[in-house]
Amino acid sequence: QVQLKESGGDSVKAVGDSLRLSCVVSGYATSSLCMGWFRQTPGKEREGVAMIARDGRTSYADSVKGRFTISRGTAEKTLSLQMSSLKLEDTATYYCAVEGPVDCKSDSDPQRFAFWGQGTQVTVSS
């Protein structure tokens, strides 16, 4: 059984702070297809934040380009999101997901990802 567990959130950060989210993948998963981070706020659709493809190619939402960096550990069992220069609008629940589409773009349909974590809350306050 594939399980994903996010960590690093669940604390209040100030505008301009940095934060690193981590995701551990356990069980078998062809995670190399595409691994990514999404976020969601109440009443809104889940949106892609950052993706990393099998070949290491990355894709970012325009709203986080230059501020967030996605990386993948060896054996593709860990996924991280380094977040800097946090803004109020970064407040959301963040989810990691694996076995996404081959094209692995930040605007990929969330339904194309096979496995998801439970989410970790990121709150940015002024």
Give pLDDT tens digits for 106-120.
999 999 999 999 999
Mean pLDDT of the chain: 93
**pLDDT, greater one: 46 or 10:** 46
Per the CB < 8 A criterion, the answer to whether 116 and 48 are in contact is: no
pLDDT of residue 76: 73
Average pLDDT over residues 11-35: 87
Is pLDDT of 63 > 70?
A: yes
Question: Dihedrals φ, ψ of 90, to 5°?
Answer: -80, -10
pLDDT of residue 97: 95
> Which residue, 12, 13, 104, is CA-closest to 52?
104
Is pLDDT of 31 > 70?
A: no
